[in-house]
Amino acid sequence: MTSGQQLRLYNSLGRRLEDFTPRGASAGTSEVGLYTCGPTVYSFQHLGNMRPYVFSDTLRRVLRWKGIGARQVVNITDVGHAVADSDTGEDKLEVAAARERRSVEEIAAFYTEDYFDRMAALNVRPADAYPRASEYVPQMVEFAARLSEKGYTYELPSGLYFDTSKSPGYGTLALLDLEGQREGARVEQVEGRRNKSDFALWRAEEPGSRRVMRWESPWGWGAPGWHLECSVMSMALLGEHFDIHTGGIDHRELHHVNEIAQSEAYLEDGQPWVRYWLHNEFILLDSEKIAKSAGHTLRLADLEEAGYHPLAYRLFLLGGHYRSQLDFTTAAMDAAQATLRRLVSRVAPLRPLPSVSTLEEARALVPAGDVPSREGGASREGTAAAEYISRLDAAACSDLATPTILATLQESLRDPAVPEAGLRVVVAAADALLGLRLGDLELREVEGRRSASDLAADEVERIERLVAERTQARKEKNWPRADEIRAELDALGVQLTDTPSGPLWELR
């Protein structure tokens, strides 16, 4: 009864909605292992880069809601990621260090710190571990050596390569036919490579050049290939097999395909390495993918400077399903900020909100007399708050349907049938899933910089005229007209307070 709906997630492996069953469920443990591909810390993360983490945070919140504990690992790529995601060429960190005249360590430390700050601003809960690639190089060398012993690799002057023709299921995740991948556009030409889809496990130093970040290996001095770190660090921290791997959809076609190939070759136990692969879609800026390389670098800090609250961006993200592409526009951000402001101003009088993080807690807190009867036809017997809790659960279990959760919350706040005590629980439950800090966010934090003094004279004139018209309509007891004008003012962001000496207005 209290477990609610079955959690269903869209698995990229097979491209279908599936019931989620934790690996440990049969063994009686319920902690789920979750690995999320993390940032390459060579520059500020742009807006599109934030989505995978808000998405994986939502996933964790939903797991928690279902009473499933999760251990999340997010890697910090501070070595191994070559420019253009290629196997050869310079390391992104080294390029950044040269550009900024700082050491690679300084570059990594600076941008890692900035990443953590942004995550906190977006109310993304910290992961349980943030392994740095540079700290796992010996394990990566061991991993590659084992693949080599098993005959999955070959050596070229440019490094050690994984032979994808030896991997029977290669490309399943991306729905690739091998021939297609071998002709794929994204792969670069490497002299001597047997198949175009083969990738570097170890990137050897070119003769005469010396990398800044370099380690010794059986294949000479060099640095690990980019894909290797995720296999090695996830297994080191979550065990050889774990439940869920997440990342941006661009990883589905190459990075995750290669992670799977090398991991299953390493394990050779006939089991899928990871059961559930979840991918979030892109954010579109001017209808094209925001790519760091394309020079679009709109960042969260830019939004804050423009007067938006970071949680308005979180709300913008949650307003779309994680598998839908989202168009980032100023109008959409304005709408998100206005929605957040309305939510906070509506919820503030209900505080303090009860502490709720699971469905079970929410159900236990719905006040006496507000619990659906076990007899009889459920929904009509159940009172309003309990029904809203069930609807939140259904939305969360339906592949993390955050737009529905948001809409359900807004509906409950307008619904006169929900008693205040019950409404508090509904709001706390919704926010356990959404993470918008509805329990403590101050209205002044989401007011932005907009105030009456920012308005142009004609805007002020228009508002004053509407306020006067409404006063006149009220005098004439023309209530429909008065309400109409009030709605119009509301749409302009004007808050009206009626006082004995007449109405006062201000901008929300």
Distance CA 279, CA 173 (A): 11
Nearer CB in complex with Zn ion: 176/348 = 176
Nearer CB in complex with Zn ion: 53/65 = 53
Nearest 5°: the CA angle 258, 119, 228 is 20
Q: Which of these, 219, 71, 99, lies nearest to 228 by C-alpha position?
A: 219
Residue range at the interface with Zn ion (CB under 5 A); choices 29-37, 213-221, 260-268, 288-296: 29-37
Q: How far is the CB of 37 from Zn ion (least distance, A)?
A: 3
Nearer CB in complex with Zn ion: 230/428 = 230
Distance CA 7, CA 278 (A): 14
Residue range at the interface with Zn ion (CB under 5 A); choices 17-25, 35-43, 135-143, 475-483: 35-43
For residue 301, give the 3-state DSSP assignment: helix
Residue 230 interacts with Zn ion (CB under 5 A): yes or no:
yes
Nearer CB in complex with Zn ion: 37/47 = 37
Nearer CB in complex with Zn ion: 186/380 = 186
Residue range at the interface with Zn ion (CB under 5 A); choices 37-45, 127-135, 434-442, 484-492: 37-45
Distance CA 327, CA 320 (A): 10
Distance CA 242, CA 273 (A): 7
Q: How far is the CB of 21 from Zn ion (least distance, A)?
A: 24
Can you list the positions of beta strands (E) in 334-439? none
Nearer CB in complex with Zn ion: 37/356 = 37
Nearer CB in complex with Zn ion: 228/441 = 228
Q: How far is the CB of 34 from Zn ion (least distance, A)?
A: 13
Nearer CB in complex with Zn ion: 225/422 = 225
Q: How far is the CB of 232 from Zn ion (least distance, A)?
A: 11
Contact partners, residue 200, CB within 8 Å, separation at least 6: 87, 88, 158, 159, 160, 161, 162, 190, 225
The pair phi, psi for residue 42, each rounded to 5°, is -115, -5
Q: Which of these, 153, 106, 130, 142, lies nearest to 215 by C-alpha position?
A: 142
The pair phi, psi for residue 91, each rounded to 5°, is -80, 140
Bond into 352 cis (ω within 30) = yes
Q: How many residues bind Zn ion (CB under 5 A)?
A: 2
Residue 278 interacts with Zn ion (CB under 5 A): yes or no:
no
Distance CA 252, CA 410 (A): 34
Nearer CB in complex with Zn ion: 274/347 = 274
Nearest 5°: the CA angle 468, 470, 471 is 65
Q: List alpha helices for 158-280, DSSP H.
A: 178-182, 226-238, 255-267
Q: Which of these, 33, 20, 32, 50, lies nearest to 290 by C-alpha position?
A: 50
Distance CA 103, CA 131 (A): 20
Residue range at the interface with Zn ion (CB under 5 A); choices 33-41, 391-399, 409-417, 480-488: 33-41
Residue range at the interface with Zn ion (CB under 5 A); choices 9-17, 208-216, 229-237, 410-418: 229-237
Residue 37 interacts with Zn ion (CB under 5 A): yes or no:
yes
Task: List binders of Zn ion among 43-72 (CB under 5 A).
Answer: none
Q: How far is the CB of 339 from Zn ion (least distance, A)?
A: 33
The pair phi, psi for residue 206, each rounded to 5°, is -75, 145
Sites of contact with Zn ion (CB under 5 A): 37, 230
